[in-house]
């Protein structure tokens, strides 16, 4: 690597703050080049005892003190008004200043989006950032977006998500030509509301360098029918929360069944390696990059554990070294013309649901 990789960290965000972010730095540092550096933003009085437990990090870390923190329940507008100088604000500001190649936070999602958009601005023709999730399936992980950042989405916004999601999946998962699908209530062209059908027509026009496969349904996610599944933030967030809840339920029921007697407990001990792999598959990395910004910002889960936050740091480093932004810009310049040339398919009647 020709230049030092520097990652900016909001150490105070999330449910646990430094007690998670500092051990996460130690985990991430072991998986990254020894030359990697971290700009750590937060309260030095809270950070110092945690760093004392990880002395090997000292040479790689610069702590930038601030006792100002964006609360998890603050609305985005409030975060913008009072956020300047906070650990979250300073972490993103370091990316704009060119001191770091990416920022990572597990803090307030709305606040992080608003602050990132204000400081870094949006890339060409993108209106708002979107959130990405990695969805576990039979063959691996599917990239799903948006999962909560944009509740109402028109056709153009859905096409933006397809472009950004495809570029992200190639950059992070190493798939040369990711396949893309639009989540809908059915696979037929006449299904769904007007905006999703218009987005389908635009993507099918062939004006973008995308392997678009058409409409997919909810059960296609766990089948990994496509690499990238596109939907609006309202639908995506409900799908994600439902899947997370189902995963926790399955794990709890399995644990209860395997500890219900001495025989099943003994069997569980013998099968613990396979059960551990099963649990890991149900719980993919909880890191969501904010796509569409002029810079890399990765959001880790508010309740993230050390390994979760470390995964977010590694994702940020990977994206910062990819050609993700260039690929997005290339296709976004084609979108305006494609939208102007396309018209919504004729509505022959009310959309139907299976």
Answer yes or no: do 214 and 283 share one domain: yes
Q: Which of 264-268, 333-337, 344-348 has the highest mean pLDDT?
A: 264-268
DSSP 55: G
Answer yes or no: do 2 and 31 share one domain: yes
DSSP 344: P
CATH of the domain at 22: 3.40.718.10
Question: Which among 117, 172, 174, 116 has a CA at the least distance from the CA of 145?
Answer: 172
Answer yes or no: do 143 and 208 share one domain: yes
Answer yes or no: do 137 and 198 share one domain: yes
- Reported confidence tier of residue 275, pLDDT bands at 50, 70, 90: low
The better pLDDT of the pair 9, 283 is held by 9
pLDDT of residue 280: 61
In a domain, 302, yes or no: no
- pLDDT > 90 in the chain, percent: 42
Question: For 196-239, what is each residue's pLDDT tens digit?
Answer: 999 999 898 877 788 999 999 998 998 999 999 999 999 998 98
The distance in angstroms from the start CA to the end CA of the chain is: 53
- Peptide bond connecting 320 to the previous residue in cis, omega within 30 degrees of 0: no
Question: For 118-177, what is each residue's pLDDT tens digit?
Answer: 999 887 667 778 888 888 888 888 999 998 888 888 888 899 899 889 988 988 888 989
Answer yes or no: do 69 and 113 share one domain: yes
- The H or E element containing residue 291 is strand 287-291
Structural domain count, the chain: 2
pLDDT of residue 283: 63
Question: 242 lies in which domain range?
Answer: 124-292+323-348
Question: Structure tokens of 11?
Answer: 């150490």
């Amino acid at each position: 690597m020709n230049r030092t990789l520097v990652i900016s960290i909001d150490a105070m965000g999330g449910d646990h703050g430094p007690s998670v972010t500092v051990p996460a730095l130690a985990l991430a540092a072991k998986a990254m080049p020894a030359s990697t550096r971290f700009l750590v933003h937060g309260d030095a009085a809270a950070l110092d005892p945690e760093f004392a437990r990880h002395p090997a990090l000292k040479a790689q870390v610069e702590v930038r003190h601030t006792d100002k923190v964006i609360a998890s329940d603050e609305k985005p507008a409030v975060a913008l008004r009072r956020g300047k100088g906070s650990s979250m604000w300073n972490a993103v500001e370091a990316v704009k200043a060119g001191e770091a190649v990416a920022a990572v936070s597990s803090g307030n999602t709305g606040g992080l989006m608003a602050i990132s958009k204000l400081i870094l601005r949006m890339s060409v023709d993108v209106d708002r950032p979107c959130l990405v999730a990695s969805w576990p399936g039979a063959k691996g992980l599917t990239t799903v977006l948006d999962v909560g950042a944009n509740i109402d989405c028109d056709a153009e916004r859905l096409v933006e998500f397809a472009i950004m999601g495809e570029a992200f999946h190639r950059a992070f998962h190493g798939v040369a030509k990711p396949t893309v699908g639009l989540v809908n209530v059915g696979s037929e062209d006449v299904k769904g509301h007007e905006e999703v059908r218009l987005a389908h027509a635009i993507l099918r026009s062939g004006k973008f360098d995308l392997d678009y496969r058409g409409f997919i349904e909810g059960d296609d996610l766990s089948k990994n029918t496509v690499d990238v599944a596109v939907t609006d933030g309202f639908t995506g967030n409900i799908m994600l929360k439902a899947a997370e809840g189902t995963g926790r339920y399955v794990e709890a029921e399995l644990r209860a069944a395997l500890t219900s007697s001495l025989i099943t407990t003994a069997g569980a001990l013998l099968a613990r390696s396979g059960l551990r792999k099963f649990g890991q598959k149900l719980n993919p990395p909880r890191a969501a990059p904010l796509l569409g910004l002029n810079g890399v910002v990765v959001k880790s889960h508010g309740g993230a554990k050390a390994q979760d936050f470390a995964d977010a740091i590694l994702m940020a480093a990977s994206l910062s070294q990819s050609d993700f932004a260039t690929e997005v810009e290339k296709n976004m310049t084609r979108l305006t013309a494609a939208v102007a040339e396309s018209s919504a398919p004729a509505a022959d009647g009310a959309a139907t649901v299976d």
